[in-house]
Structure 1
């Protein structure tokens, strides 16, 4: 059975990049795979989180996933901390993974920066927990962005070493990456060379999933462009990152291609194209934003949906964890 596992951190300020780069693709995967979607709140606390904000962000992320089309009845949606198998398997994987492997993880170096000695041990061991997230369910496929490919490779290495160390060939699968969609990297509206980010100082740099129609219109109207009209061929977008970004967003939201968008809009000025883009963004995002607001106003429903998902996740993970403990040599009651 082919099974997809994917997760996102509940760190607030969900934006268009999160939607186009991840959540929308997850919705499409539901048609092909048995899917497990996780709000990875344990990953979130590798850096300090205000507890009240964390609870709110967990609910907001779950609401955005459901509003976008994730079906918590047909598939599994839960928050990570409700399933203990993640933490238990992560410790076992900590004892399988090598320090040298962890030292090669570029994301830790980027996040820790010059303050490596002050970073949490959790941040350093983050990839081991990610491996546990995936392998606790023996997932066969994982949607990943470019910044997570190295972590998935580590998960594959851990799975292989566990199988070899304990002589259990093929116990853990080698999960395959799924890199999906035409807009896996959505860039800032203020700087086409920078990825759209929830941490950007300027709110004008991103399209938030909670923005109303007027705010969306204003942000697109003020998005940075260049004085040249839109080209007719994709090759002419080289060296024009802001233009490329807006065209890519349009293509992704309309399930089209950059070439098709340019065939339709090539030669027009950005003022006209921005209005067309605004219409598309409002059409696609407004229903999601409205449904998110409705769901967020009913936290009891969100909590119940996550708890039911956790029960189903536990039903899958616990038998696998029990086998792992038996293989390792632990005494199981």
Structure 2
């Protein structure tokens, strides 16, 4: 079986911790919605990944609903895409254990995100934080997903997923799992901090002015962009002039991503413009694109039972795909099951 033998299928997920930002929307959700109809699409709120660090249980449930509301408000259609939260499909965790036994410790030691998150405290973090790339591989391969839309900072995880799939296939003399392809395209895949263009926009930043929250109303969105840090120089005549100007580049790329343009097209529209011209234009564009989404998110969040219903129906659809793949994996590995559990 080769790569083309697998059903073209997209999988991706967002972790429910700290609330959704503009970075989540432009780097992930907007792209996810755009992929609907192109191939089978499966999107997940990865709540099991969230608990690799301590989470308040009530807040975790609320954040899971907020991420789902963000997907839905941005245009994800549950009749076209499968949307669910990870913990409702036990096959993710079951396949992750098998992958824990396939992956090598050396592979985990090379994962840069663990090093970044653990810092100098690596001996005291959870085993889950260390091993979570194997769960991430299971998230993808339990659906035999062929494509994963990711930012550059997540590409290493897809490479590990490919390594795990290749070793599993080699060890068991099969071609059961695809070598998943990362999909990295378009502007503004890495949205930066509005107060420091060298840092990624984060849910956990110290100041709320650093980020655009997807729950921000129109006034907050406009205020944050108008007060975003810039440098003294106007916009350049060409995109090459954005080199070594992180704040300027970030705002141009945000404008481009919001308006489905390239950064080159933005510069062509605003050559040599001062920030007194460009930032209000960016603020107006952001309000037009984002305020309706935040309003729709608020509507969904006011009806948590409806969100739970959508996630439950999505989980049922996901299990219908995942469980047969898990059963076949058990058979390949040689894990004995009685007829009653098949």
TM-score, normalisation: structure 2:
0.96
Query: 3-state SS of the aligned residue for 1:36?
Result: strand
Aligned equivalent of 1:229, options 217, 221, 234? 234
Other-structure match for 2:334? 329
For 2:262 and 2:81, the matched residues in 1 are separated by: 30
For 2:16 and 2:186, the matched residues in 1 are separated by: 22
Other-structure match for 2:299? 294
Do the aligned partners of 2:21 and 2:214 also contact (CA within 8 Å) in 1?
yes
The answer as to 2:197 corresponding to 1:187 is no
Other-structure match for 1:107? 113
Aligned equivalent of 1:21, options 18, 21, 27? 27
How far 1:328 sits from its partner (Å)? 1.0
Other-structure match for 2:203? 198
Query: 3-state SS of the aligned residue for 2:38?
Result: coil
The answer as to 2:322 corresponding to 1:317 is yes
The answer as to 2:88 corresponding to 1:91 is no
Do the aligned partners of 2:16 and 2:46 also contact (CA within 8 Å) in 1?
yes
Aligned equivalent of 1:255, options 233, 255, 260? 260
For 1:219 and 1:177, the matched residues in 2 are separated by: 32
For 1:311 and 1:105, the matched residues in 2 are separated by: 32
**Cα deviation 1:38-94 (Å, max 9, x = unaligned):** 000000000000001000000000000010011112211000000000000000111
How far 1:329 sits from its partner (Å)? 1.0
The answer as to 2:23 corresponding to 1:32 is no
**Cα deviation 1:247-275 (Å, max 9, x = unaligned):** 11111111111111111111221011111
For 2:154 and 2:254, the matched residues in 1 are separated by: 22
Aligned equivalent of 1:156, options 155, 162, 182? 162
Q: Point out 4+ residue stretches in structure 1 off by more than 3 angstroms.
A: none
The answer as to 2:172 corresponding to 1:166 is yes
Root-mean-square deviation (CA), in Å?
0.9
How far 1:101 sits from its partner (Å)? 1.1
For 1:260 and 1:88, the matched residues in 2 are separated by: 47
Do the aligned partners of 1:21 and 1:181 also contact (CA within 8 Å) in 2?
no
**Cα deviation 1:161-193 (Å, max 9, x = unaligned):** 11111111x111100000122110111110111
The gaps in structure 1 that reach 5 residues or longer are none
Aligned equivalent of 1:70, options 53, 76, 84? 76
Do the aligned partners of 1:64 and 1:288 also contact (CA within 8 Å) in 2?
yes
Other-structure match for 2:183? 178
Aligned equivalent of 2:140, options 108, 119, 134? 134
Query: 3-state SS of the aligned residue for 1:332?
Result: coil
How far 1:13 sits from its partner (Å)? 2.4
Other-structure match for 2:3? none
Q: Count the aligned residue pairs.
A: 332
Moved more, 289-298 or 9-18: 9-18
For 1:99 and 1:294, the matched residues in 2 are separated by: 45
Do the aligned partners of 1:322 and 1:332 also contact (CA within 8 Å) in 2?
no
How far 1:332 sits from its partner (Å)? 2.1
For 2:168 and 2:116, the matched residues in 1 are separated by: 28
Do the aligned partners of 1:12 and 1:60 also contact (CA within 8 Å) in 2?
no
How far 1:148 sits from its partner (Å)? 1.4
For 1:61 and 1:327, the matched residues in 2 are separated by: 35
How far 1:31 sits from its partner (Å)? 2.7
Moved more, 256-265 or 20-29: 256-265
Do the aligned partners of 2:37 and 2:80 also contact (CA within 8 Å) in 1?
no
Do the aligned partners of 1:140 and 1:173 also contact (CA within 8 Å) in 2?
yes
Other-structure match for 1:244? 249
Moved more, 208-217 or 314-323: 208-217
